[in-house]
Structures are given as C-alpha cells and as structure tokens.
Amino acid sequence: MEHYPGEGFYNGALVNGKRHGLGKLWFASGDVFEGVWKNDKMVKGKLQSSSGLYDGDFVRGKRHGHGTQTYENGVFSGRWKADEKECGLFRWKDGTSYDGQFKDGVMHGEGTYTFSDGSTYKGHYDNGKRHGRGILTRTDNSHQVGEWWGNQFKRALSRKQYEKEPPAIMPQFVMKRDTEKERIEQLVQMETWAEEQLELQREGSTSPTGEDGWDWRENPYEA
C-alpha cells in the first residue's frame, strides 16, 4: 500500500516507482479508481465518484476515448474527449433517449431524440435545443418536416426541399476520416495492452493481497 500525499492511497503494480499495470487508488476526495495504469497514469478501468460510475478509457487523468457513465437519471455510452461527452447514446430513466453529438455536456450538433411515447426527432441541436432543420416523426407515422428555433417549430419544408438542401453540419462536428481512423487504431492498441496487463496480473497472483499483506479491496480511509 503506497500513500501519495494530496492524492490518496494506492495498491497495485509498480514499475520503477511508478504505477504501471493493474491497481486501485482511493482518492482523498472519496473517489475510487480500479483498473490499468501506465507510467503513473490511469489508462482503462472503473472510476466511482460523486457523479456516478464511469467504465472506460482515460487519457491524462480524464475520461477520453470510449466509455460508459452511469448517472442518477440515466446512462451515457459513447465517445469522450477531455472529460466531456462528445458523441454517443444517452438513455434517461423516464424512457427517453438521445443518440448524437454533444458539446459542454448538452445535445449539440446532429442527433436523434426519442420521446417516451416512441415519437422521434432527427435533426440539428444547438445548446440542448432543437435548432435548425429536422424531422419529427409521430407514433402514427405522420411527419413534421422543417426548421426549428429554440425548440419551436418555425417553418415547414417539403420532403423534396429538405432532401435537396440538407442542413450544413457545423465545422466543429466534421471529423476527417484519417483522424478518426488513427483514433480508433490508438484505442485498439490501448485496449490490447490493457488486456495483456490484466492477464499478466492474473497469472502472477490471483490473491487480492499485495506484498505488504494489504487486501487491495479494502478502503484505507475506513481502516
């Protein structure tokens, strides 16, 4: 069991004095991380915090890559960037869901929102509101096609108009194929490395007790 002043207690693999491999950290704040470390940084694992449980990738101590966050009101699964939701599916406990792009934690960009009654809105969002072109499909299969401003329907468009002149996707949401391909390759390499580390850890010791006799499952702040 290692104590990191100002950070917390750590128990797990160390390489040249750095956390590297499988380990668990009890933060002084009360948060708990358990998973794979590389060069003293969290790489992949589960983080239990006041905001809920996150299971996924980390870069420089932040949620980055693919991961699933469980909140009190629902679950988000998708892509993260620097601790912010970037693109994915959020399912609320009331039965509604949103599958699309996010910015600053809210719906922003292109996405599909499904209401609790099964109706859907597919189109553009701005700062959490329907804003721009979109299609509302009701449960009786009727459609409302047109433009929205701040969640309010403003102008109707025919299907032909909508399809002929699709809404322009904002530049910040356009991803270059090469960049996306590189990101996916990096995530695959990271996951492969993490799996290898977990397997080595299992082969080395199946006991939850470290070399100092401390059970890494126990919370040092409750001792």
For residue range 64-93, list pLDDT tens digits in order: 999 999 999 999 999 999 999 999 999 999
Residue 190 domain flag: no
Report pLDDT digits (tens) over 96-134: 999 999 999 999 999 999 999 999 999 999 999 999 999
Statement to judge: residues 29 and 67 lie in one domain: yes
Tell whether 44 and 120 lie within a shared domain.
Answer: no
**Element (H or E) spanning 192, and its range?**
helix 177-204
Rounded to whole angstroms, how far apart are CA atoms 70 and 47? 11
Mean pLDDT of 21-33: 94
The CATH number of residue 83's host domain is: 2.20.110
Please say if the pLDDT value at position 154 is more than 50.
Answer: yes
Phi then psi for residue 118, to 5 deg, are 100, -10
Domain match, 109 and 134 both: yes
189 pLDDT band, cuts 50/70/90, is low
How far apart are alpha carbons 23 and 198 in whole angstroms?
10
> Contacts from 194-198 at CB under 8 Å and sequence distance 24+?
194/35, 194/36, 194/43, 194/44, 197/13, 197/21, 197/22, 197/36, 198/22, 198/36
For the residues 9-35, what does the mean pLDDT come to?
94
Q: Does 25 reside within a domain?
A: yes
Does position 48 have pLDDT exceeding 60, yes or no?
yes
Q: What stretch of H or E contains 189?
A: helix 177-204
Owning domain of residue 54:
1-93+201-213
Same domain, 85 and 145: no
What is the mean predicted confidence (pLDDT) over 167-191?
A: 53
Q: Are residues 7 and 54 in the same domain?
A: yes
The model carries a pTM of 0.71
Q: Is 191 inside a domain boundary?
A: no
Same-domain status, 83 and 23 = yes
Nearest C-alpha neighbor of 41 from the set 148, 165, 193: 193
> Do 68 and 4 share a domain, yes or no?
yes
Domain count, the chain: 2
pLDDT of residue 169: 44
SS3 49: strand
Asked if residue 209 and residue 133 are part of one domain, the reply reads: no
DSSP string, 97-162: EEEEEEETTEEEEEEEEE-TTS-EEEEEEETTEEEEEEEEE-TTS-EEEEEEETTEEEEE--HHHH
Query: Is 185 a member of any domain?
Result: no
Determine, yes or no, domain membership for 179: no
Measure the CA–CA gap between 144 and 46, rounded to whole angstroms: 42
Residues 83 and 169 in one domain: no
Question: 167 near 132, Cβ under 8 Å?
Answer: yes
Token pair of 140 as six digits: 């009786």
Categorize the per-residue pLDDT at 208 as very low, low, confident or very high, splitting at 50, 70 and 90. very low
Regarding whether 88 and 9 lie in a shared domain, the answer is: yes
Considering only CA atoms, which of 72, 73, 112 is closest in space to residue 89? 112
**Position 189 in a domain:** no
Residue 134 lies in a domain: yes
Verify that 89 and 104 share a domain, yes or no.
Answer: no
76 with 128, same domain: the answer is no
Residue 64 tokens read as 């980055």
Residue 220 counted as domain residue:
no
Per-residue pLDDT at 221 exceeds 90: no
